[in-house]
Amino acid sequence: MKNSKLLWNFMKGNRLKYIGAIVSVGFAIFFSTLAPLVIRTTIDSILGGNPMELPALGVKVVNFLGGKSILVQNIWICSLLLIIITLIKGIFLFLKGKWSASAAENIAKNMRETLYDHIQHLPYDYHVKCKTGDLIQRCTSDIDTVRRFLAMQLVDIGRAIFVLIFSITMMLSLNVKMTLIAMAAVPIIFAYSFVFFNGIKKLFQDADESEAKMTTALQENLSGVRVVRAFGRQKYEVDKFNAKSEEFKDLSYKMYALRGNYWAISDFLCMLQTGAVLIAGVYLTARGDMTLGTLFVFTTYEGMLLWPVRQLGRILSDAGKMTVSIKRINEVLSEKEEETPLDAAKPEIKGNISFEDVYFEYEKGVPVLDGVSFNIKTGETIGIMGKTGSGKSSLVHLLARLYDYNKGSIRIDGVELKDINRKWIRKNIGIVLQEPFLFSKTIKDNISLAKREAVDKEIFEAANIAAIHDVILGFDRGYETLVGEKGVTLSGGQRQRVAIARTVINKSPILIFDDSLSAVDTETDRAIRKALSKRSRGVTTLIISHRVSTLKEADKIIVLDKGKIASIGSHEELIKQEGLYKRVWEIQSSSKADYHNDSKVS
Ligand SMILES: Nc1ncnc2c1ncn2[C@@H]1O[C@H](COP(=O)(O)OP(=O)(O)OP(=O)(O)O)[C@@H](O)[C@H]1O
C-alpha cells in the first residue's frame, strides 16, 4: 500500500498522460474490433445476399456512404473504410506509445533525481555502513524495472482488459454458442501463464542475483587489481570469476529452457483453441447456422484475444518484480535525512574550541569517546596521537558534525556545536580525510572542488602550500592532468597532497588533518607544515598523526587511549612523562638515529 502510494506520488504531473495513454489504447482496441465487422458486412451483405445486421450506428454509416446499392457498385468504399479504421487505430496507438513512454521517462527521471538528492542528504553514518553496489543497483536497475513496467506493461494491462471487454461483447452479440467455444481455453491459458510466470519469478531473481555477484567480482577485481597482481592472485581471481560466470550461465539457460517450454505449450493450447473455433465455426457455417462473415469475425477475434491473455500472466508476475523494486527504492527514501533546521545558528567562527566531558558511541553501550575535555584557543595547533582505534578520527568527525555526540558539550566560540547549522560548520572547517578520494577530473578541478570560483593564482598557492605545485607542473598536461578512477594515476603521497591543497584553498578558520601526512616523507611533511603555519596564522589546526616529528611543534598534544585522554601537553612536557607519547618518541628518535647511522655507513 505504502509502495503504491509512493508510485502514485511519483506519477504526479504525468497522471493525465497516463490516462490519455490508456484511453488511447481503448480507442485503438475499439477500432481493431471494428475492422472484422466491416469485413463481415462486406462478405455477408454486400458481396453476399444476406440482409444487413448492423447496430444503429452501423446503419447510419452505411446510409452516409450512400446505402447498400451504392456500396455494391463501389466495393472500394469498404476497402477505404478499412484503411481509415486502420489509420485511426494507428493514430491512437501512436498517441498511446508517445504518452506512456514520455510519462514513464518523466517518472523515472523524477525518481532518479529524488533518490540521488535524498542520498546526498543522508547522514554520513548511512554511507559508511551501506553497500555501495547495492545502492547503485537501487538507483539504476530498480528504477529501470519500474520505468519498463510503466512504459509498457501498465498500458498492456489496460490493453488486455479492453481486448477482453470489446471482443467478448461483440462476439456475444453475434453468436453466444460460438463465444463460449472461443473462450473455453482462455481461463486455462491465463491460469497456466500466471502460475508459470509466478514460478519462474524466483528463477528470474536468482539469475539477477547471480549476475550481480558476477559484476561485483569483476568490479572488485578491477578496483583491487594492484593487490591481485602484488599477491599473484590472478589464477584465483580468474577461477572465482569463472565460477560465478558458470553459475549465471546455468541459471540463464534454465530460465530460457523453461520459457521455451512455456511458449511451446501455450502455443499448443492456443492452436487447440483456434482449431476448436475453426472446426465449430466451419461446422455451423456449413449447417447454415452462421454466416461466412461471422466465421471470419470469430477467427480474427480469437487471434486478437489469445496474445494478451498469454501476456497477462507475465505482466502480473512482472508487476511483482516491479513491486520489489519500488520497495527497495522506498527503503532508501524512508531513511531519515540529516536534520538541518532552518533556524540553526550561523555564528562567525573564529576557532576557539572546547570539549567538556564529551561521550560518544556508535553502538549502544560501546563508548568510543568518554569524558573527553580540553580547550583550544584560536590559532593554536593541536596534535592528536593514540593507538589505532583509540577514537582520534571519531573526535574530529564530531567537530565536523559528521556524527553528533551523545553526552557532554562541544562549543565553538562559545556556541554549542549541535545548535550550529551543519552546512555552515562544514564550510568553516576544512578537513583532509584519512583516505582522500579524488574525482575522475583534472587536478585543477579537484583542487577547486570546494571553491568553484577560485582563480589560478589561488589554486597554485594552495598547491604550493601542499608542496605539490612543482610535481603537477612536471606532468605533461600540468594542472589539466586527468586523475584516474580513485586517483590511481597519482601516488599515495601525491593524492594526499592534492587533497590538502583542496582543503586549504578555502581558508577555513579551522583545519583538520586526519593522518593526512602519513604517505609523504618527513621532509615534505615539514615543508607543508611550515607553509601552512606561514599562510594560516590565526587558523586553529588539528593534526592527527602517529609521527612525533609531525606533532612536536604543536602547541598542545592530546594523547588518546581507548577513548579517554591519557595525557595532554606540549612535546617538552610529554617526553618527560611516562606514557605512549614518550615511548613513540623514543622509538622514532632511535630509529631515526639508526637510519642516519646506516646512511653514514653506506
Ligand atoms: N562508523 C562506525 N561504526 C561503528 N564503529 C566505528 C565506526 N567508525 C569507527 N568505529 C569504531 O570506533 C573506534 C574508534 O575508531 P576511530 O576511527 O575513531 O579510531 P582512530 O583512533 O582514528 O583509529 P586509526 O588510527 O586506525 O585511524 C574503533 O573501535 C572503530 O572500530
Per residue in 381-400, pLDDT (tens digit) is 899 998 888 889 999 999 98
Give the pLDDT confidence of 314-351 residue by residue, as tens digits. Answer: 787 677 778 878 888 888 998 888 877 767 778 888 88
CB 556 within 8 A of CB 380: yes
Superfamily of chain region 353-601: P-loop containing nucleotide triphosphate hydrolases (3.40.50.300)
Distance 601 CA to ligand 1 centre (A): 42
Secondary element (H or E) of residue 410: strand 407-412
CB atoms < 10 A from the CB of 18, how many?
20
CB 520 within 8 A of CB 444: no
CB atoms < 10 A from the CB of 594, how many?
10
Mutate to test the pocket of ligand 1, among 125, 358, 359, 368 (most ligand atoms within 8 A of CB): 368
Phi, psi of 521 (to 5 degrees): -70, 165
Task: Quickly state the pLDDT bin for 485 (edges 50, 70, 90).
Answer: low
Mutate to test the pocket of ligand 1, among 122, 358, 369, 393 (most ligand atoms within 8 A of CB): 393
pLDDT at position 591 is 56
CB 143 within 8 A of CB 325: yes
Give the pLDDT confidence of 418-456 residue by residue, as tens digits. Answer: 888 888 888 899 888 877 888 888 888 888 887 888 888
Mutate to test the pocket of ligand 1, among 122, 126, 358, 362 (most ligand atoms within 8 A of CB): 362
Distance (Å, whole) CA 348 – CA 359: 26
Distance 583 CA to ligand 1 centre (A): 23
Distance 574 CA to ligand 1 centre (A): 25
Half-sphere exposure of 20 (CA within 13 A, CB side): 16
CB 397 within 8 A of CB 425: no
Distance (Å, whole) CA 32 – CA 7: 31
Residue 428, C-beta contacts closer than 8 angstroms, at least 6 positions apart: 349, 508, 509, 510
**If you ran DSSP here, which 8-state letter would residue 122 be given?**
S
User: 10-334 adopts what CATH topology?
Assistant: ABC transporter transmembrane region fold (1.20.1560)
CB atoms < 10 A from the CB of 322, how many?
22
Task: Quickly state the pLDDT bin for 590 (edges 50, 70, 90).
Answer: low
Distance 491 CA to ligand 1 centre (A): 25
Mutate to test the pocket of ligand 1, among 372, 392, 405, 551 (most ligand atoms within 8 A of CB): 392
Give the pLDDT confidence of 515-529 residue by residue, as tens digits. Answer: 887 777 777 878 887
Q: Which residues does ligand 1 sit against, CB inside 6 Å?
A: 125, 128, 362, 368, 386, 388-394, 434
Distance 585 CA to ligand 1 centre (A): 24
CB atoms < 10 A from the CB of 6, how many?
17
Is the pLDDT at 10 greater than 80? The verdict is yes
Mutate to test the pocket of ligand 1, among 388, 397, 402, 545 (most ligand atoms within 8 A of CB): 388
pLDDT at position 558 is 92
Residue 92, C-beta contacts closer than 8 angstroms, at least 6 positions apart: 24, 25, 27, 28, 31
pLDDT at position 376 is 92
Q: Start-end ranges of CATH 3.40.50.300 in the chain?
A: 353-601
Residue found under cell 527503503: 331
| CA 129 to ligand 1: nearest atom | 1
pLDDT at position 90 is 95
Mean pLDDT of the chain: 84
Give the pLDDT confidence of 215-274 residue by residue, as tens digits. Answer: 878 877 887 887 888 888 888 989 999 999 999 999 889 888 888 888 888 888 888 888
How far is the CA of 45 from the CAs of 51, 289, 541, in angstroms?
Answer: 6, 16, 97
CB atoms < 10 A from the CB of 137, how many?
18
Distance (Å, whole) CA 580 – CA 562: 12
Distance 389 CA to ligand 1 centre (A): 5
Distance 393 CA to ligand 1 centre (A): 7
Hey, whose CA ends up nearest to atom 4 of ligand 1? Answer: 362
Is the pLDDT at 600 greater than 60? The verdict is no
Among 112-121, 174-183, 197-206, 510-519, name the one with the lowest average pLDDT. 197-206
CB 274 within 8 A of CB 306: yes
Distance 368 CA to ligand 1 centre (A): 8
pLDDT at position 127 is 84
**If you ran DSSP here, which 8-state letter would residue 559 be given?**
E
Question: Would you say how long the chain is, in residues?
Answer: 602
* Contacts by 121-129, CB closer than 8 A, 24 or more apart: 121/337, 121/338, 122/335, 122/336, 122/337, 122/338, 123/336, 123/337, 123/338, 123/403, 124/338, 124/397, 124/402, 124/403, 125/362, 125/402, 125/403, 126/335
Is the pLDDT at 156 greater than 80? The verdict is yes
Is the pLDDT at 99 greater than 90? The verdict is yes
Phi, psi of 62 (to 5 degrees): -60, -45
CB 497 within 8 A of CB 466: yes
| CA 386 to ligand 1: nearest atom | 21
Hey, whose CA ends up nearest to atom 16 of ligand 1? Answer: 391
CB 291 within 8 A of CB 40: yes
Give the pLDDT confidence of 526-541 residue by residue, as tens digits. Answer: 888 778 777 767 889 9
CB 405 within 8 A of CB 359: yes
CA dihedral 279, 283, 288, 290 (to 10 degrees): -30
Percentage, residues of the chain above pLDDT 70: 95
Distance 400 CA to ligand 1 centre (A): 16
Is the pLDDT at 599 greater than 50? The verdict is no
pLDDT at position 87 is 95
Distance (Å, whole) CA 502 – CA 430: 9
Q: Start-end ranges of CATH 1.20.1560.10 in the chain?
A: 10-334
Report field, pTM of the whole predicted structure over 0.90: no
Nearest in space to 145 (alpha carbons), one of 112, 185, 182, 167: 112
How far is the CA of 176 from the CAs of 55, 290, 293, 434, 583, in angstroms?
Answer: 17, 11, 16, 79, 99
Distance (Å, whole) CA 551 – CA 542: 10
Distance (Å, whole) CA 62 – CA 68: 7
